[in-house]
Amino acid sequence: MGFVACSDDTVAEDVLVGEEGEVDGEAEVEDDTNFVATDWTTETHTKDVDPNFDEVFDDTVVKRFDIVITEARWQSMLDDMTANYGVFGASNSGGGLLDVEEDPIFVPAEIFYNGKEWYRVGVRFKGNSSLQSSWRNGILKLSFKLDFDEFEDDYPQIDNQRFYGFKKFSLKNNYDDQSMLREKVAGDVFRNAGLAGSHTGFYTLYVDHGDGPEFFGLYTLVEEVDGSVLDTQFSDDDGNLYKPDGDAASFAAGTYDEDEYVKKTNEDEADFTDVASLLAAINDDIRTTDPETWRANLETVFDTDVFLKYLAVNTVIQNWDTYGLMTHNYYLYNNPDTHKLTWIPWDNNEALQDGKRGGALALDFSDLNASQWPIIGYMYQDAVYKAKYDAYLQEVVDGPFNENTIQALYNTYADLIGPYATTEVPGYTFLNSSADFQTAVNQLKNHVSERSSAVHSYLNN
């Protein structure tokens, strides 16, 4: 017997093929619905418990995931990637990044953790530029999305399946980060500043797609905003959650586009009045003639204090791959308690460095086009908001990004993950040599000292 892939364009079914290639003249689809979820317990597999953060996001250990997937389903994932992004490893054939609107396909796979099995979990590749670049450069250490009840309609045994109370995660490959610490530490800093944001943890990943488990490398597990972040960090998840992407994400005048205010909740409700009101309020010309009224109008739809604190953290730690330089990598949630859009950071693997595309923004935003990025530009031009921003800068370097605290954290995390980071294997790593890891960690430690000095210089100027 061998496996071949069906032509189903969403999930490739396992097909058992006889010695002659056919059974009774045609291939038979394997029925994989008849199984018993023997490892299922209330605590580990159901939604009847609160998310267990201590179990899943333990900062003191590196945990392990095993993904077991049939050869046919794995091949269907690779074929889908080839169709969308070209031949694996063909780095010189595609030119710039492609604009692919559809996400990679989900397929069912088994997840193993600490000797327990999770059944028919939805698994797909994830990412945009990081996914394309890794694929084209022949690096199979790709990021994954895990959704534990994605296929519950096909497999009733996994109805409302959870992983210690969590429905889904991103398993990020630490693309372009030879320290493998940026996503983790930046997320820690945002949350330690009192902002809503994702918990993160270190995991090694092994994938068995027919030839036994292969070490895919050290990953960062990231809590999903449109899942447990809303459930546990807000009073409820009934508000509109947006993940803006495209020109409209800049909130510049004239950019309104509902298609680019991508909804992650209430998708079937054509109500975008909150983001439309934010765009109108931030760009209202009254800001220069009656700033008090402008602020009052803005604050009816937007949590300005949360944004200014986020802005202070983001600018101190330096993160170029988000609002202010890029029209993506943040969420807006209409908090039911305040009825205000609340800023939530996302995707921090490029943080903690000056970065690309001309580098991260200056602390005084002298390199920012205010009308192009009005939420930053116009708020910083307002004396009241600038004073709050400056105060938050001081709070950041005194607290969540304190130089001594972060230096110690880098040492602790580097000691923790070093044995795994430096033993990644060719084809599944972004390191050229194991020495690259410590070099990158040293750069991070120098960076925090530089940022502390920069903030003190700015505030004393």
Query: What ranges do the domains of the chain cover?
Result: 36-173+197-233, 235-461
Q: Percent of the chain having pLDDT more than 70?
A: 92
Long-range contacts of 334-338 (CB under 8 A, 24+ apart): 334/239, 334/240, 334/241, 334/274, 335/234, 335/239, 335/303, 336/234, 336/235, 336/236, 336/238, 336/239, 337/234, 337/235, 338/303
The continuous run of DSSP H or E covering 369 comes out as none
The pLDDT confidence band at residue 9, using thresholds 50, 70 and 90, is very low
**Of 268, 239, 262, which Cα lies nearest the Cα of 333?**
239
Report CA-CA distances (Å) from 89 to 101, 137, 142, 211.
22, 5, 13, 21
> So what's the pLDDT on residue 26?
36
The pLDDT-based confidence of 461 (bands split at 50, 70, 90) is: confident
The pLDDT score that the predictor gives to residue 30 is 61
Q: What is the average pLDDT value for the chain, to the nearest integer?
A: 92
Alpha helices per DSSP H over 31-151: 42-45, 53-56, 71-85, 129-136
pLDDT at 129: 86
Residue 124 has pLDDT above 50, yes or no: yes
Tokens of 31: 């029925």
Confidence band (pLDDT; 50, 70, 90) for 91? Answer: confident
**pLDDT at residue 25 above 70?**
no
pLDDT at 459: 97
**Burial (0-12, 13-18, 19+ Cβ within 10 Å), 350:** buried
- Using alpha carbons, select from 288, 361, 280 the residue that is nearest to residue 320: 361
Give tens-digit pLDDT for 196-205. Answer: 999 999 999 9
Q: Half-sphere exposure (CA, 13 Å, Cβ side) for 362? A: 10
Contact status, residue 303 vs residue 335, Cβ threshold 8 Å: yes
For residue 221, which phi and psi values (nearest 5 degrees)? Answer: -80, 130
| % pLDDT > 90, the chain | 88
pLDDT digits (tens, 9 = 90+) for 277-314: 999 999 999 999 999 999 999 999 999 999 999 999 99
Residue 17 has pLDDT above 50, yes or no: no
Residue type, 94: G
- So what's the pLDDT on residue 357? 86
Treating both helix axes as pointing N-terminal to C-terminal, what angle do 383-398 and 304-317 enclose, rounded to 10 degrees?
A: 50
Please compute the mean of the pLDDT values over residues 424-444 and round it to a whole number.
97
Q: Average the pLDDT over 216-242 and give the result.
A: 96
What's the pLDDT at 93?
53
CB atoms within 10 A of CB 425: 11
pLDDT for residue 95: 59
pLDDT of 21 above 60? no
pLDDT at 138: 95
* pTM recorded for the entire structure: 0.91
pLDDT digit string, tens, across residues 317-375: 999 999 999 999 999 999 999 999 999 999 999 999 999 889 999 999 999 999 999 99
Q: What is the DSSP letter of 351?
A: B
The CA distance from 218 to 201, in Å, is 11
* pLDDT at residue 128 in the model: 85
CB 28 within 8 A of CB 15: yes
Q: Which two tokens stand for residue 293?
A: 């009224």
